[in-house]
Structure formats: C-alpha cells, structure tokens
C-alpha cells in the first residue's frame, strides 16, 4: 500500500492506474496468503462478500477482497475514484462503456476477463459493469473507501436512465 500511496501522490492518470494495477499483480502472486478458505463467500448475502484488508485513517487507499461463491453482477457504474481489480481465483468479466454517466444509455466499448495473473484499472469517471459466473476471488483497490464515497452513478436498465446510489453493502473488516 505504501507503493500505491506513492504512485497516487504523483497524480492519477491512466499511467498511474496502470502502475497500481501492476503492483497489485505482484501482490496477487502471493496467492497463498489469500486462500478462498480465509475469505469465504457470505451465504447471507447471495454468496457474495467484500473483505477490507487495508485502508488509511482518512478513508483513502482501500484494498478489499471480493469473494463470490457463484454469480454476481453490477450494472454499468462509475467509482468517483480510481479503481483496480486483480484476479486471484476464478473469472470476473468487466465490460467497459464508451459513454459517461448521464450521456444516455451506455454502449459497450470493450470486454476484459479478470482472472489470476490479470487485472484492470479505471479512472474516477470510467464506466464499467461486472459479471461473475462460477465464482471468483479478486482484489479490488480504490483511491477511497467505498462506504465513504458520495452516491455513485449507475445505469438502471429497467428505467432506462442514469441514477445515483450510495454504496451500502456490508464490508467485513479483517484488518485486526
């Protein structure tokens, strides 16, 4: 995390997010430190869990492990902060969109599979969606704590409009 703080201190752009992604890939090579048995999916939350591994006192530089037993999806959304996702086990499909929030319906511009040895990075206003089938264990690292962020933008497919939503799902703090 000290390396990530130093990268962020130089300013965030695509190159900086790429450096953060590479640093997380090095950490992911130590997968024995992050076994699925220590980060099990939460049966009470549709087989999905988010574990907080590290976060600064000012809510910056949050590192999580997302554990998904079988399936989960997140609609097109932004993060309002930089984000990197790096694979430990399984596969997470990330669809990137070429339109920003409030610019009409999102259109897929690219698709990337996050799996062991790979990862993807996003700037604060990049839009992506997540699709997991068959389970996955991944690092999710953000420039700011998800629960402390303002309401994020997401595409509501049913209503065919951009909306905002405050992240409210429970996070399991394993820092102690």
Looking at per-residue pLDDT, the higher value among 45 and 75 belongs to: 75
Is residue 67 a contact partner of residue 171, using CB atoms and an 8 Å limit? no
Average pLDDT for 38-44 = 86
pLDDT attached to residue 136: 96
Strand bridging mode 48-54 / 172-173:
parallel
> d(Cα 21, Cα 24) in Å, to the nearest integer?
5
Q: Which two tokens stand for residue 8?
A: 């962020």
Domains detected in the chain: 2-173 (2.60.120.10)
- Predicted TM-score (pTM) of the model is 0.94
- Average pLDDT on 95-101 reads 83
3-state helix, strand, coil in the chain (%, to 5): 20, 45, 35
Mean pLDDT of the chain: 93
Q: Higher model confidence: residue 121 or residue 47?
A: 121
How far CA 109 is from CA of 72, 76, 86, in Å, comes to 21, 12, 20
pLDDT at 100: 65
pLDDT at 99: 75
């Amino acid at each position: 995390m000290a390396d990530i703080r130093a990268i962020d201190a130089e300013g965030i752009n695509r190159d900086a997010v790429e450096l953060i992604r590479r640093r997380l890939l090095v950490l992911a090579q130590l997968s024995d430190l992050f076994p699925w048995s220590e980060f099990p999916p939460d049966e009470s939350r549709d087989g999905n869990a988010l574990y907080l591994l590290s976060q600064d006192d000012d809510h910056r530089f949050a590192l999580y492990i997302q554990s998904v037993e079988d399936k989960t999806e997140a609609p097109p959304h932004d993060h309002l902060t930089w984000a990197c996702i790096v694979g430990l086990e399984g596969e997470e499909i990330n669809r990137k969109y070429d339109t920003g929030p409030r610019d009409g319906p999102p259109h897929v511009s690219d698709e990337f599979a996050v799996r062991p040895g790979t990862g993807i990075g996003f700037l604060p206003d990049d839009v992506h969606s997540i699709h997991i089938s068959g389970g996955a264990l991944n690092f999710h690292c953000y420039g700011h704590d998800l629960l402390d962020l303002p309401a994020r933008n997401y595409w509501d497919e049913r209503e065919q409009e951009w909306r905002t939503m405050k992240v409210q799902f429970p996070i399991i703090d394993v820092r102690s």
